[in-house]
Structure 1
Amino acid sequence: MSTLTSLKYIVFNSLIGEIAIVWNNKDKLLKQIILPDVNTGKFNYGKIDYHGVLSETEPDDYIMEVMSDVKEIIMGKDIHFDYSHLDFSILTDFQRIVLLKQKDIPHGRVTSYKKLAELIDKPKSARPVANVLSSNPFPIVIPCHRTVRSDWTIGGYVGMNDGLYKRLILENEGVQFENDVVQKKYRFPSEDLITPPL
């Protein structure tokens, strides 16, 4: 069986609208999670990055669990996702480094693109880091919603200029804002934990 014919997708409803999951049915690796169009709340088939993907209407237990995890994360639950089921094979080394560090941002905490660049030892790479997160193939499970602009305002979300979904998910995780800025106690790493050089 060829790789293309083993690619499946399913569309399901969530708190933010229709979400699609694309996976390889042969090895159970997730290839892509697609969020709904911010204007319609609907899934856009044109956003699938692969050709020859077949619709699935009766997913197995594993895909049902992934769907449940995605819904729960959106609702603010602290879900520990098994990242070994994500297919990183088409990503560059830099993209992998950024996404793997992003997954370490704790539930209910927020970092900035600049801070994330510092966490991967590339302090001048805030813009490339933001570009990686804007094209994150696994939004929600790799929580790019937990990274915001350097001024701690929301910014866009997975390539969308509107941060509506991002803010909703963060608020569901308990993050609070003051004048659209993430309050200090939710910032990661905590500015109180950073020791100044001697």
Structure 2
Amino acid sequence: MTITYFGYGSLVNVDTIPAAMEVTPGRLSGWVREWRVCGIGEDGQGRCALSVRKKEGSEIWGVMAREAKAGLAQLEHRERRYEKVEAIGTAFACEAKNEPGPADLFLFKATPEHLRWGNDTHPILQSYLDCVLAGYYGIWGEEGIDHFLETTDGWQAPVLYDRHKPHYPRSIRLEKDLALLVDEKLTNKGVEYMQS
């Protein structure tokens, strides 16, 4: 028995998921990403993570992830500020074969109690953003970073610069050239930084 779900943020980064998981790049129609999941981490730091909402005419890139059903409890703990949206397979197209996803494909979106835009007390963590953008870069190169920046709402939230002392539990270390590219793209996007 397996479960299949759509990842549009940190789940795109294969370094943060189980090695045995099968990952297929693709595109989801009718949805847009947004910085709109607020909560407090185990370290006491407020943070804002990614969610999605329906938006006709939009498309976001991400991955269809398949793993053993035994991993569901751990996945649901990771996504504890989210609820499932079931049966989104017809909105998904595999990139390589342009085939739809399975009927039981699902995604996670923010629960109502966590659905708030990021702000000064719940900033975007640079360590989380680095993880997400490294995932998009790993699959689609620079075009993947550009796509993510263009198809994500909520950039009015500040970015907490915690790269050297990460608050994100699944943080990764960017290669120097990629870190410089990410910083350049975010500066051009006009993001506001906060020091950790």
Fold match by TM threshold 0.5: no
* Greater strand share, structure number: 2
TM-score bracket, normalised by the shorter chain, equals under 0.3
Higher relative contact order (CA 8 A, sep 6+): 2
| Larger radius of gyration between Structure 1 and Structure 2 | 1
Give the TM-score normalised by the residue count of structure 2: 0.27
